[in-house]
Amino acid sequence: MAEPLKIALAGLGTVGVGVIRLIDANAELIARRAGRPLHVTVVSARDRSKNRGVDLSPYAWEDDMVILGEREDVDVVVEMVGGSDGPALALARTTIEAGKALVTANKAMIAHHGLELAGKAEDKKVALKFEAAVAGGIPVIKALREGTAANRIERVYGVLNGTCNYILTVMEDTGREFGVVLGEAQAKGYAEADPAFDIEGTDAAHKLSILAAVAFGTRVDFASVATTGITRVRAADIAQAAALGYVIRLIGMADTGGDGLFQRVQPHLVHCDHPLAHVDGATNAVVAEGNFSGRLLFQGAGAGDGPTASAVVADLIDIARGETGPAFSVPVSELEPLAAAPTGHRRGRAYLRFMVADRPGVLAEITAALRDAGVSIESMIQKGRADTAGEVMVVMLTHEGPESAVSEAVRLLDGSPSLSEPPLVLHILDN
């Protein structure tokens, strides 16, 4: 059998430890599939004395993780430190410049610096792989790069953040409000102490920008992802959606056309007949629509030590086999630099929720704004009598029409004393 692939591991959190355990547990199987053994030779983390539940004595320790790639006993560096910049980026640059392959689970770094790193990897003729950066253990990057390579992907979308999906499905099951469920999710370890990256949609936007680049052969453009999180979704919205035959999910969606690259992360009403409506808990799912393959659904654990470690080791097996290839399916020089697509002309249906003062004339003001903006209303529901704050919830579903009309209606209502907060606009995913 060929010489082992010598691995440096930066970051010994749950995923880093999971990689060590997986390589140890499946060593013989992995060696047969890779054509040679995978050996971790050196590790690095912030705290050398911490008990991580695995024996680290077989491995060398490097205090300065940035120089891991320069060591002679390393063929590939696995980066699981996190963060778009700082030590993670310094390590990635040093590794590739030293002519070593890089495997990373760092979606923020790839979303912000992936083109730079991919270009350097091509120049040095080394692999840059990031399967674990998107959707955890779901092999969606490999599927898009290889399994659908003969297709023109027309749209890619999905549930890309397990924390948000967990919160929304618990709200759905229990009727509890967002803040309560978020606190419970933090206590159980499903949400970070500072959950902003997840609940504001940034994590999903990082992943979406990477998926779009791989699916469409376009340059990564995280800055152009229109992003809205789930913090304004109320239990009453979820209950109303259910009564209408929908669930609420945070959806990342991207497509291309003659007008550029469309990328958006936003809570959607998803029809109960759609596959994404049945994605519960911390699960992730990605739908890719190819012009010959049709609709493909990839679903599985979006995080966790086992699934994410599985994706990391799959990348290592590819490298052991000598499978490098362009990180984004095609060389960086051939990635299309598409402008961000305007959204106003996009057509669809929308869910509009208004929290209004309980007094005469309010409904007439809202319907007048919708009329003047050219929004056609399919149905309207007013929920109950005013609460102790004097608020009433009014929900409307629109007929299909341009998104610009809904945006104009919201603009016309901006600053209205009849509304206690800005309207909530959720687009509807029917098919």
Which residue numbers are catalytic? 207
**Backbone dihedral region for residue 82 (phi beyond 0: left; psi -120 to 50: alpha; all else: beta):** left
CA 335/CA 132 separation, integer angstroms: 22
Angstrom distance (rounded) from CA 66 to CA 190: 30
What CA–CA distances, in Å, run from 61 to 8, 42, 235? 10, 6, 49
Token reading at 360: 């005469």
Question: Distance between alpha carbon 3 and the CA centroid of its chain, in Å?
Answer: 37
Question: HSE of 277 in the Cβ direction (CA atoms, 13 Å)?
Answer: 16
Strands 226-227, 260-271: parallel, antiparallel or unpaired by DSSP?
parallel
Residue 385 identity (one-letter amino acid): R
For residue 280, which amino acid is it?
A: D
Amino acid (one-letter) located at 351 = Y
Q: Collapsing DSSP states into helix, strand and coil, what is residue 171?
A: helix
Q: Name the residue among 404, 226, 262, 254 with its Cα closest to residue 340.
A: 262
Q: Which residues contact 194 (CB under 8 A, 6 or more apart)?
A: none
Rounded to an integer, what distance in angstroms lies between the CA atom of residue 129 and that of residue 325?
9
